Structure 1
Amino acid sequence: MVFAMKQGAVVPAGRSAGFTLLELLVVIVIIGLLAAYVGPKYFSQLGKSEVTAARAQIDAFDKTLDTYRLDVGRYPTTDEGLAALMTAPPSAGAKWNGPYLKKAIPPDPWGNPYQYRAPGARGDYEVLSLGKDGQPGGSGDNADITN
């Protein structure tokens, strides 16, 4: 058998240096196992951040609605909705001192409009996001988020 020297290693003549099919398969399996372990953890954190963002937006609506009530003397009706924060409803009269938001009313983190009801289920009003699925009820990421 004849040996040739390549970059300081002894390699049989006629055979090139490189990875075998078995070595490549082992590396692919290891990468797949890592992706299977890390992937779900990453995507669950993404869902949690969207819920956190929705809660923060609803808290901002709460503060803005309180300012509206201080000016007008009442919360917007269900028919007036959150739009009363941007444009004066006819029933607000000269007391309206808005707009109460710097920008247009944002959608929830999933692109759905926020819902507004007055009176609410547990107070003077209720602002809610219907969650990821955009349907009432649900659990996990699909659960309703309310003030």
Structure 2
Amino acid sequence: MKKAFSLLELLVVILILGILAAFVAPNLIGVGEKAKRDLVCSQMSSVAQALKMFRLDNGTYPDTEEGLQALMHNPDTEKYPNYSTQPYLEKMPKDSWRTPIVYVKEGDKFDLISYGADRKEGGEGEAADIYYSRCQK
């Protein structure tokens, strides 16, 4: 006599697996995007530290027009005579979606912006822009 599972036993097992999947799947969906957003905040923190070192050496943050390029090479030797002999950043920082991080100087403060998953300014939900100033909160 062969021993095998009956159709009823297989249906019960499939039902149990379906119920487990229904509880687990919603918790896993969206976790990847949240991790990407958290990573962007971490990357922005590193860039912010480089900007603060630039300010320590030069007395001011780079202008918006000079951008983050100013952290890789001195944009104006007369304006920044105390520029470090080593670059503040080795390469242009990009966010989790491989888009360059945007730098904006506002008075004597700055902000860093990632355009998020849609790679466009604005957006909502997972496509919303990520601001360094809001990452800190």
TM-score over 0.5 (shorter chain): yes
Q: Secondary structure at the match of 1:118?
A: strand
Q: Secondary structure at the match of 2:81?
A: helix
Q: How does 1:91-106 map to 2 (within 5 A)?
A: 91=77, 92-97=79-84, 98-101=86-89, 103-106=90-93
**How much has 1:115 moved relative to structure 2?**
0.8
Bigger Cα displacement from structure 2, 67-76 vs 85-94: 85-94
- What is the aligned counterpart of 1:77 among 63, 85, 103? 63
Q: Distance in 2 between matches of 1:32 and 1:112?
A: 39
Match for residue 115 of structure 2? 130
The one-letter code matched in structure 2 to 1:145 is I
- TM (norm. structure 1) is 0.74
Match for residue 7 of structure 1? none
* CA displacement 1:14-54 (0-9 Å, x = unmatched): x4111122322322232222223212212333322222221
Asked if 1:139 corresponds to 2:124, the answer is yes
The one-letter code matched in structure 2 to 1:19 is F
* CA distance 1:111–1:25, shift in 2 (3 Å): farther
Moved beyond 6 Å, runs of 4+: none
Match for residue 52 of structure 2? 66
**How much has 1:93 moved relative to structure 2?**
4.4
**How much has 1:143 moved relative to structure 2?**
1.6
* CA displacement 1:58-94 (0-9 Å, x = unmatched): 2222221111012122211222211211122135543
Q: Distance in 1 between matches of 2:74 and 2:29?
A: 41
Q: Distance in 2 between matches of 1:131 and 1:26?
A: 43
Q: Distance in 2 between matches of 1:60 and 1:17?
A: 62
The answer (yes or no) to whether the contact 2:47–2:93 under 8 Å persists in 1 is no
Q: CA RMSD of the aligned region, Å?
A: 2.2
The one-letter code matched in structure 2 to 1:88 is N
Q: Distance in 2 between matches of 1:114 and 1:136?
A: 12
Between structure 1 and structure 2, the one with the greater Rg is: 1
Q: Distance in 2 between matches of 1:131 and 1:118?
A: 20
Asked if 1:39 corresponds to 2:25, the answer is yes
Q: How does 1:39-58 map to 2 (within 5 A)?
A: 39-58=25-44
The one-letter code matched in structure 2 to 1:16 is K
The one-letter code matched in structure 1 to 2:121 is P
Match for residue 109 of structure 1? 96
